[in-house]
Amino acid sequence: MPNIIEMPKLSDTMTVGTLVKWLKKEGDAVKAGDMLAEIETDKATMELESFFAGTLLAVFVKAGSQVPLGAALCAIGKPGEKVEASAPRAAPHDEAPAPGPAPVPAAPEPAPTHAVPSPAPGPAPAQARAPAPAPTPGRVRISPLARKLAAEKGIDPSTISGSGPGGRIVRADVIAAATSGAARAAQVGAPGFAATGVKGPVQEARLAPVSNIRGIIAKRLLEAKTQIPHFYLEIEIDAEPLLELRTQLNTALEKEGVKLSVNDFILKASAEALRRVPTVNCSWEGAAVRHHSAAHVSFAVAIDDGLITPVIRDAHLKTLFAISSEAKALGKRAKDKKLTPAEFTGGTFCVSNLGMMGIESFSAIINPPNAAILAVGTTVRKPVVKGDQIVIGQRMTLTLSADHRVVDGAVGAAYLAALRDLLEKPALLLL
């Protein structure tokens, strides 16, 4: 009997996964440990490993499909072995019919200025089905993915015949129209723009489907901002000693390939400050406050669909150089969407640094279940008072967002004071 591979739970908050692409095709030989497909979860894109050896007998879902946990993905067995015909086959999310006994038209939405109506959905008389009806005033029924593809190819969706449920235009219809050349080019902007010299829109209006990652980010940030009582503390530190030490170390260790970043110092100092002020290294659990015994410091990495927070575990026990090496490796895997769940879960404190993008200061939203997050701004050259003189200094703004259920103002202030002491005396971070 064939082995059925189901959609696994690849992250703690995952409810569905998107099958990005198959790495094997039907009929291919498969060994235990081979990678079958790439799956996008709510956190990252991961490879699906086979725990069985044999032949890939059947693929039940197409690339681009959104699949719930536990749904069948494929079958592996002996060559020629029969696969049950009842095994579910999911359609891509832009082609899936609406649930229920019959397709239900979607709620009206504003149509593009170039849109002309498509015929009302529903069965047509048998004798009238062969010739495609001419467009009549109404709304073009088109999936978000198909609309995006049509805009990219410059095709007017109103000239495409839909093959989806209720005459809906799907991705395959746009590709077929582009290949045949039968579709009319889409108009950009309103009539008369060219004559008057007025420019058209920045881009075509479109409705983009939300990815798993963007969807879960939106959900968690809404929960964090509405359920966690945030308060904010801000300090400005003298970044000159840190920048000087960084330059000296990078120059001295250049031949060894060492290149420390400002963020490496921030991560190390954040972990050490958590050891000095451990109340910040806690989580609210309703009836109790969990005090963490280790500083697992995460840091925000921007990816195509939003951001993810890789975790440097036991950062308080690691050297500055170890943290630097680990952060670079985790950051690269994050951008490639190759992080494993163990690499982006379990953090107890988070650092978000927008300094490299020129942002001087900002307030970050807490990443639950953490009780705080540190926002790091860029280094700014500005006049400062040293002694009785005004000189040019290098200043950096740090903003702590804290959960007031766990962290009080005095505790947050003590944490920032410890952090400033470490960053203004960066040699302490080398001990």
- Give one DSSP letter per residue of 203-221, joined into a string: S----PPPPHHHHHHHHHH
Q: Tell me, yes or no, whether 105 lies in a domain.
A: no
Q: pLDDT value at position 27?
A: 92
Measure the CA–CA gap between 233 and 372, rounded to whole angstroms: 11
Paired strand residues for 396: 237, 379
327 and 417 share a domain?
yes
The verdict on 49 and 178 lying in the same domain is no
Q: Is residue 227 part of a domain?
A: yes
**Average pLDDT, integer, range 69-85:** 87
- Residue 84 domain flag: no
Residue 104 lies in a domain: no
Q: Is the pLDDT of residue 105 over 50?
A: no
- Is 39 in the same domain as 22? yes
- Residue 309 belongs to what domain range? 212-430
Interatomic CA distance for residues 51 and 58, integer angstroms? 16
Among residues 176, 208, 240, the one where a domain terminates is 208
Euclidean distance between CA atoms 349 and 35, whole angstroms: 33
* SS3 state at 224: helix
Q: Are residues 238 and 281 in the same domain?
A: yes
pLDDT at residue number 223 = 93
292, 407: one domain? yes
Q: What is the spatial distance between Cα 18 and Cα 62, in angstroms, rounded to a whole number?
A: 10
Structure-token pair, residue 303:
């990816």
Share of the chain above pLDDT 90, in %: 53
CA distance 294 to 273: 12
For residue range 121-136, what is the model confidence (pLDDT) as tens digits? 444 444 444 444 444 4
Residues carrying an active site annotation: 404
Per-residue model confidence as pLDDT tens digits over 333-382:
999 888 888 899 999 999 999 999 999 999 999 999 999 999 999 999 99
The pair of structure tokens assigned to 182 is 């039968």
Give the residue with greater pLDDT, 138 vs 262.
262
Is residue 108 in some structural domain? no
Q: What is the mean pLDDT of residues 322-334?
A: 96
- Whether 330 is covered by a domain: the verdict is yes
- CA neighbor of 374 nearest in space, from 429, 295, 297: 297
402 CB contacts (<8 Å, ≥6 apart)? 230, 231, 232, 233, 280, 366, 371, 372, 411, 412
* Cα-Cα end-to-end distance for the chain: 61
Give the model's pLDDT for residue 119: 40
Q: How many domains does the chain have?
A: 3
Q: Tokens representing 384?
A: 């400062």
CA 20 to chain centre: 14
d(CA 419, CA 398): 9
- How many beta carbons lie within 10 A of that of residue 188, not counting itself? 16
Model pLDDT, residue 87 = 53
Domain membership of residue 109 (yes or no) is no
62 & 164 share domain: no
In angstroms, the CA 171 to CA 185 distance is: 17
| CB-based contacts of 356-360 (< 8 A; 24+ apart in sequence) | 356/263, 360/397
Percent of the chain at pLDDT > 70 equals 81
Task: Say if 99 falls within a structural domain.
Answer: no
CATH of the domain at 34: 2.40.50.100
285 and 363 part of one domain: yes
Given the DSSP bridges, would you call strands 297-299 and 349-353 parallel, antiparallel or unpaired? parallel
307 and 368 both lie in a single domain? yes
- CATH code where residue 231 lies: 3.30.559.10
Gyration radius of the chain's alpha carbons: 28
pLDDT at residue 164 tops 80 = no
Task: Give the predicted TM-score (pTM) of the model.
Answer: 0.63
Q: Are residues 297 and 352 in the same domain?
A: yes
The mean pLDDT value for 177-193 works out to 56
Residue where a domain terminates, one of 11, 46, 77: 77
User: Quick one: average pLDDT of 313-340?
Assistant: 94
